[in-house]
Amino acid sequence: MTRREAYDYGVEQLEEQGIDDAACDIRILLEDLCGVDREELFINGDKTISRKETETFMNAVTRRCGHYPVQYITGKQDFMGLTFSVNQDVLIPRMDTEILVEEVLKNLDDGSRILDMCTGSGCILLSLLRYSNNCEGVGVDVSDAALEVARDNAGRLALDETFDLLFTTGGAGAKHLDLDKIEFIESNLFNDVKGKFDIIVSNPPYIRTDVIPTLMEEVRDYEPMLALDGREDGLYFYREIIKKSPQYLSGGGKLFFEIGYDQAADVVKLMEEAGFKDVVVVKDYAHLDRVVWGRI
């Protein structure tokens, strides 16, 4: 079978199952399978794929037809221009979350100590460290399996040689990751966290339990429930983190959250009641409320 035939077959199968973005998904699967970029895939569309590759591809198409996320098939997702490993133990990094990272970066000093609560794949913390200077980071998660992914991501990003090339051309003053300045700890929220931080950032689970059955199959059936479920009113983790954060923030320290589109008023109120000042809401590119932050 040629690459082009595989592409046409895959797109047709996914479209039959009503998968949105069938063409995009199949392109990503084939690029991953053949180890090539988009141009190369189609320029050499008449190249045949081996029997073994065909088998792997057919398997991937079958899984995707069952709404299994593409990112769990390829094992990766780009975020903030970096490639993160993912598996079913972690939430797939979302573009929406880049708004949170960018907002923190705008308000971050060199050498800050950063805590990422509910770190999952580590995408938030590792991006912050990669695009800042001399910061130290602690990533916390209740799931040991998630932390394994986060540690793997830290190790891989620290070695990523393409990075400097990318950023000397891009002109940003980014540095390699320094593994000595990163720690991942297993803890139920703040239970095992020690020390003070200049920044606490979190994209906690925030979906109301009664909304979970209405989520896309991709999310509901395959992403970790632990990373999604914000309990009865969706605000459980905001409440807990806001309550404890003042103890863990240095004077003037900042707390940043990603929020669901309808949670801004509640989270602002919780932060103000806990003594946070200058609490602001930042919108995402879809003009939905996405980030809330303030200082203590």
**Is residue 135 a contact residue for ligand GLN (CB under 6 A)?**
no
Distance in Å, CB of 82 to ligand GLN, minimum: 13
Give the Cα separation of 283 and 264 in Å (integer). 10
Give the Cα separation of 34 and 50 in Å (integer). 10
Q: Which two tokens stand for residue 208?
A: 């109301």
Helix (H) or strand (E) holding 252: strand 249-258
Residues of this chain, 1-30, that bind ligand GLN according to CB under 6 A: none
**Is residue 69 a contact residue for ligand GLN (CB under 6 A)?**
no
**Is residue 201 a contact residue for ligand GLN (CB under 6 A)?**
no
Candidates 10, 137, 204, 253: give the one binding ligand GLN (CB under 6 A): 204
Candidates 77, 119, 127, 263: give the one binding ligand GLN (CB under 6 A): 119
- Report the Cα 18 to chain-centroid distance in Å: 26
Q: Which two tokens stand for residue 263?
A: 């949670």
Distance in Å, CB of 13 to ligand GLN, minimum: 29
Per CB under 6 A, which region of 53-61, 179-187, 189-197, 200-208 contacts ligand GLN? 200-208
The 74-113 site mask, x for binding ligand GLN (CB under 6 A), equals -----------------x-x---x----------------
> Angle CA(153)–CA(157)–CA(161) in degrees, nearest 5?
150
Beta carbons of 205 and 230 less than 8 angstroms apart: yes
Distance in Å, CB of 216 to ligand GLN, minimum: 16
- Cβ distance to ligand GLN smaller for residue 136 or 229: 229
Candidates 108, 138, 227, 271: give the one binding ligand GLN (CB under 6 A): 227
**Is residue 260 a contact residue for ligand GLN (CB under 6 A)?**
no
Give the Cα separation of 248 and 156 in Å (integer). 29
Q: Which two tokens stand for residue 70?
A: 């593409």
- Cβ distance to ligand GLN smaller for residue 179 or 226: 226
**Is residue 267 a contact residue for ligand GLN (CB under 6 A)?**
no
- Cβ distance to ligand GLN smaller for residue 54 or 187: 187
Candidates 14, 29, 73, 123: give the one binding ligand GLN (CB under 6 A): 123
**Is residue 127 a contact residue for ligand GLN (CB under 6 A)?**
no
**Is residue 249 a contact residue for ligand GLN (CB under 6 A)?**
no
Distance in Å, CB of 16 to ligand GLN, minimum: 31
Give the Cα separation of 10 and 62 in Å (integer). 9
Return the HEC string of 141-196.
ECCHHHHHHHHHHHHHHHHCCHHHHHHHHHCCCCCCCCHHHEEEEECCCCCCCCCC
Q: How many C-beta atoms surround the C-beta of residue 164 within 10 A? A: 12
**Is residue 205 a contact residue for ligand GLN (CB under 6 A)?**
yes
Beta carbons of 114 and 199 less than 8 angstroms apart: yes
What b/e string do you get for 6-44 counting C-beta neighbours within 10 Å, with b at 16 or more?
Answer: bbebbbebbeeeebeebeebbbbbbbbbbebeeeebeee
Residues of this chain, 158-197, that bind ligand GLN according to CB under 6 A: none
Binding residues (CB under 6 A) for ligand GLN: these are 91, 93, 97, 118-121, 123-124, 203-205, 227
